[in-house]
Amino acid sequence: MNIKLFAFDLDGTLLDRAGRISAENRRAVAAARASGAEVVLVTGRSWRLTLPYYRELGLTGPAICYLGALMVENGSGWIGYHRPLVPEAWVKLRRLALAEGLSITAVSAADQAVFGSQLPPKDLMANDTAFGTEPPDDFAYWDEWNPYTEIDPGLHRCTSPPTMAAVYGDRAVARVLEAFPEGLPASQFDLTDRHPGETVLHVWHEEVDKGRALARYCQRREIPPSAVMAVGDTTVDVSMLRFAGIGVAVPDGHPRALEAADWIATPLEAVERVLGARG
């Protein structure tokens, strides 16, 4: 099995519930790197919240963040791809939130969109800023979800469409879904985080998903899907598990990830199996 690229999700895959990388998972990444293959983190986190793990794992190449809305080329944060919301979607969502006092955040990885096959100037860096209206009464984990969000009730400091918008709390989420039953222009709603006291509706560009982002990078590098192993644990990982020649779901993964996977294994088991077969 000639795997040229290993793609790893972070939360629930390499990271435990406390946000730590176990010794076993560090060994998995180290073995993947030692094989000469590329190792890419593919995560829903911002670059700012991905960077400590990127450094801990000794990575030097690209990282895919915000579920694929952003790709940085290396540890400097130089942007290779960025797909924020379209202006029409952001204007409609912002107008509703401010008119009705809904709790939303606007998280921006950069001040401009970057797409296509041509890399932008090397001075275009991820800056990861976040502004939000007031936290809602029916959401219990604001600080955990928003470690660097600045409160800006009028969202005046969000001067361009964000990479991602998030709506917090049952009341606000229900109102947005009611107001936009057919969605927002060129956008998608993600309601996978719906738990008592912790309901979040993410709003992304319609083209954002992990599989599409990984496919875009592999096409640029001329790496066929058959030479890719992807490891994940939940519904947002399904697209990259299906893209990869070998899609691996961790044993306690979401049923949809388990169904989409070719293998069910821990990261270390999967890497060792591939490298053992290669040997």
Tokens representing residue 158 in the block: 């969000």
User: What is the value of pTM for the model shown?
Assistant: 0.95
List the beta bridge partners of residue 203: 165, 189
Look at residue 279 and tell me whether its pLDDT is greater than 60: no
Query: What pLDDT digit, counting tens, does each position of 196-250 carry?
Result: 788 999 999 999 999 999 999 999 999 999 999 999 999 999 999 999 999 999 9
Domains of the chain, first to last: 5-69+208-278 (3.40.50.1000), 87-205 (3.30.1240.10)
Alpha-carbon dihedral angle through residues 192, 193, 197, 201, given to the nearest 10 degrees: -90
Q: Which helix (H) or strand (E) holds 186?
A: none
Overall average pLDDT of the 63-68 stretch: 98
- The whole-angstrom separation of Cα 22 and Cα 8 is 14
Specify whether the CB–CB gap between 110 and 163 falls below 8 A.
yes
Q: Look at the alpha carbons of 187, 192, 193, 199 in this order and tell me if their dihedral is positive or negative.
A: positive
Measured CA angle at 158 (ends 152, 163), to 5 deg: 120
- The whole-angstrom separation of Cα 232 and Cα 266 is 10
Specify whether the CB–CB gap between 268 and 6 falls below 8 A.
no
- The whole-angstrom separation of Cα 160 and Cα 4 is 37
- The whole-angstrom separation of Cα 104 and Cα 135 is 8
Q: How confident is the model at residue 278 (pLDDT cuts 50, 70, 90)?
A: low
Query: What pLDDT digit, counting tens, does each position of 119-160 carry?
Result: 888 889 999 999 999 999 999 999 999 999 999 999 999 999
Least Cα distance to 48 among 130, 119, 116 occurs for 130
- Per-residue confidence (pLDDT) for residue 73, from 0 to 100: 96
